[in-house]
Chains A and B, each alone.
Chain A
Amino acid sequence: QVQLVQSGAEVKKPGSSVKVSCKAFGGTFSSYAINWVRQAPGQGLEWMGGIIAILGPANHAQKFQGRLTITADESTSTAYMELNSLTSEDTAIYYCAREGGIGGVFDFWGQGTLVTVSS
């Protein structure tokens, strides 16, 4: 059984950056894509981007081009999501999710990391 464990909650100032980690237990980390999905308070789910460790460069949603960096470390089975130039609109719960390789399904999810952007 795959388990994704994310880093803890963060409070950031506007204009700063945040880096969230997602460590995978079980499964073959390098063979699957890890995606990042965020959910603003009271809002729906929003795909941000994803990466397959063995392939390297990540895919990003157009909305986040230029300020989102997604990386993966095969040696520790950990994926990272770094978002720059934070504003209050980036306040959200950030989830990592494994893409199961079948039609783009997200079959396992992390517990979520709350990022609060406030001055």
Chain B
Amino acid sequence: QSVLTQPPSVSGAPGQRVTISCTGSSSNIGADYDVHWYQQLPGTAPKLLIYINSNRPSGVPDRFSGSKSGTSASLAITGLQAEDEADYYCQSYDNSLSEYVFGTGTKVTVL
């Protein structure tokens, strides 16, 4: 059972904006540990999408943005495209478990 909670699914039409929340607690996100986001396209390995809360690796479109506040973090996708249809996971560190933890995952569907 993951300590980071995400909505199971979000959807939007092409061109729209969607957001994915990642809710933690005082032992992980709220303890000021960094949050990272990964995109997993069907049948492939996860790929780093956002690191240290809001930074994009080289090659990631600026349609993707991240933020963090309190015990939660969010990933926003603006100008949604068909190729964005994938599973998205947040990840952080939990000091009560002394473990890295992943979110429950969110499936993004482009209508």
Interface residues, chain A, with chain B CB atoms under 8 Å away: 35, 37, 44-47, 50, 59, 61-62, 95, 97, 100, 102-112
The distance in angstroms between the C-alpha atoms of A111 and B44, with both chains bound, is 7
B11-56 with Cβ < 8 A to chain A: 33-34, 36, 38, 45-48, 51-52
The distance in angstroms between the C-alpha atoms of A61 and B101, with both chains bound, is 10
The distance in angstroms between the C-alpha atoms of A102 and B57, with both chains bound, is 12
Contacts A104-B34, A106-B46, A107-B51 supplied; 11 other A-B pairs, CB < 8 Å? A45-B91, A47-B99, A47-B100, A61-B97, A62-B97, A103-B34, A104-B33, A106-B48, A106-B91, A109-B47, A112-B45
- 29 A-B pairs with CB atoms under 8 Å apart are A44-B2, A44-B89, A44-B102, A44-B104, A44-B105, A45-B38, A45-B46, A45-B91, A45-B105, A46-B102, A47-B101, A61-B97, A61-B99, A62-B99, A95-B46, A97-B46, A100-B51, A103-B34, A103-B36, A103-B51, A104-B91, A105-B51, A106-B46, A106-B48, A106-B91, A109-B46, A110-B45, A111-B45, A112-B45
Secondary structure type dominating chain B contacts: strand
B66-105 with Cβ < 8 A to chain A: 89, 91-93, 97-105
Secondary structure type dominating chain A contacts: strand
> Most chain-B CB neighbours within 10 Å: which of A44, A109, A112?
A44
Total A-B Cβ pairs within 8 A: 67
Given contacts A44-B2, A110-B45, contact A104 B89 (CB under 8 A): no
